[in-house]
Amino acid sequence: MSYERSNIQSMTGYSSGEQPRQADVIKLNTNENPYPATSAVEKALKAIRVEDLRRYPQPYANGFREEAARYHQLNAENILATNGGDELIRLAITTFVDPGQSIAISEPSYSLYPVLAAIQNCPIVKIDLQDDWQMGPSYADALNDSGAKLAFIVNPHAPSGLLTAVSTLRQIAERFKGVLVIDEAYVDFVDPELGYDAVSLVKEFDNVLILRTMSKGYSLAGLRFAYGIGSEELIAPMLYKTRDSYNTDFISQALATAALSDRAEAAQSWRKVREERVRVEQALQELGLSCAPSQSNFLLAQLPSTDKRYESAEILARECYQRLKDDGILVRYFDMPRLRDKLRITIGTAQENSRLLQQLASYLRPS
Ligand SMILES: *Cc1c(COP(=O)(O)O)cnc(C)c1O
């Protein structure tokens, strides 16, 4: 006898990237920042006393919201703090979409979206990206034709790393009739010289919700803290109605506020990641792997189909994934259409990246 709702019974849960227990594994599979959180975060952590935990935390995380509002030059009413970006995605779905109404995502993209849609019993409409991972000129029409109430765009895109220009996002936001979530989980790694800034869209459009997380750029994946940026019309119902009463805890509020108020050190880690991204991409290219142009902290590398020892690039990709794993290096392999001949490789420290390149070279160019 099952007590589950029928849609829960028939759905499959999210499958996370592997989180090994051994400390000596080189982890290039879940896009964590390879550098530690900043000294401001460490100081804030050391200042927490056990008696601080006796009382409930600030329900709305107002200290954090004010800090984020200052950073983005908005009001605290435009900010919602959440228990990781994943909670914001769940809140957007439960607040803006009735069960049975559709949710649109680009294909491929973050594999958590269909899981959270299934929980709300919402059909997912997948809109294929072009071969170059761009959304294509009629993307907004495709969204509207799908009847979706809510659409997710990841920018920079995962798993390709491709950055879509704000002008394109603006066109989509203007034409799409539903709520548009722009998932900026990796935005901190975008080259600042590009001048990318989508936050201004929330002032222009009341249907744009931007997701930011402390997990990637701020090296706080273990903390579980993220935030949404949007018009008051979008933020208020999530803040005052659908959110859990104390969705972020005292420790995470204190640490996330410290991280956001002192960003210079984190910015150094973003710069190092960008420099390594360039070096790793070049070295991969020399080994015959081609990467989509990435503005993120990972590369989607396509294996060559010219290696005579392997029947196909798919078989070679799987082989490289497994051999790297056996040699203590984890990367991400997606057994999905258009991704089976590729590996998604997180940018690590210079030393970790060199190890990865050395191992790949030994498989692909045996001497
Ligand atoms: C990591 C990630 C998130 C949010 O992760 P949290 O750790 O829950 O904040 C959201 N979207 C994408 C595409 C991600 O990769």
Residue closest to 152 by CA, chosen among 218, 107, 199, 206: 107
Question: Which helix (H) or strand (E) element contains residue 68?
Answer: helix 62-72
Ligand 1 site, residue 156, Cβ cutoff 6 A: no
Residue 306 is predicted with a pLDDT of 85
Q: Is the pLDDT of residue 69 over 80?
A: yes
Please check the confidence at residue 256 and state whether its pLDDT lies above 90.
Answer: yes
Atom of ligand 1 minimally distant from the CA of 86: 8
pLDDT tops 90 at residue 291 = yes
| 230 Cβ closer than 6 Å to some ligand 1 atom | no
**pLDDT surpassing 80 at residue 366:** no
What letter would DSSP give residue 187?
A: G
| DSSP 8-state class, residue 128 | E
Q: Tell whether the model's pLDDT for residue 244 goes beyond 90.
A: yes
Is any atom of ligand 1 closer than 6 Å to the C-beta of 110?
Answer: yes
Instruction: Compute, in angstroms, the gap from residue 185 CA to the centroid of ligand 1.
Output: 5
SS3 category, 4: coil
Q: Is 213 in the pocket of ligand 1 (CB under 6 A)?
A: yes
| CATH numbers and ranges of domains, the chain | 16-35+265-364 (3.90.1150.10), 39-261 (3.40.640.10)
112 CA to centre of ligand 1 in angstroms = 9
Nearest residue (by CA) to ligand 1, atom 14, is 185
Q: In 303-358, at which residue ranges do the beta strands (DSSP E only) sit?
A: 329-331, 342-346
In this structure, the residue with its CA closest to atom 1 of ligand 1 is 185
Sign (positive/negative) of CA torsion 50, 51, 57, 63?
negative
Q: Best mutation site among 216, 229, 247 for ligand 1, i.e. most ligand atoms within 8 A of its Cβ?
A: 216
Q: Which atom of ligand 1 is nearest to the CA of 225?
A: 9
CA distance 273 to 347: 6
| pLDDT at position 155 over 70 | yes
Q: Whose CA is nearest to atom 11 of ligand 1?
A: 185
Q: What is the mean pLDDT of the chain?
A: 96
- Report which protein residue has its CA nearest ligand 1's atom 4: 85
Distance CA 284, CA 278 (A): 10
pLDDT of 309 strictly over 90: no
Token pair belonging to 76: 């605290």
Give residue 232's pLDDT. 98
Question: How high is the pLDDT of residue 50?
Answer: 97
Most informative mutation of 87, 90, 110, 214 for ligand 1 (most atoms within 8 A of CB): 110
| Residue 226 three-state SS | strand
Q: Which residue matches tokens 């607040």?
A: 95
Instruction: State the pLDDT at residue 367.
Output: 67
Gyration radius from the chain CA atoms: 21
Distance 146 CA to ligand 1 centre (A): 25
Q: How far is the CA of 210 from the centre of ligand 1 (A)?
A: 12
**Neighbouring-strand partners of residue 26:** 329
Q: Which residue has the tokens 């790949």?
A: 360
Record the pTM: 0.97
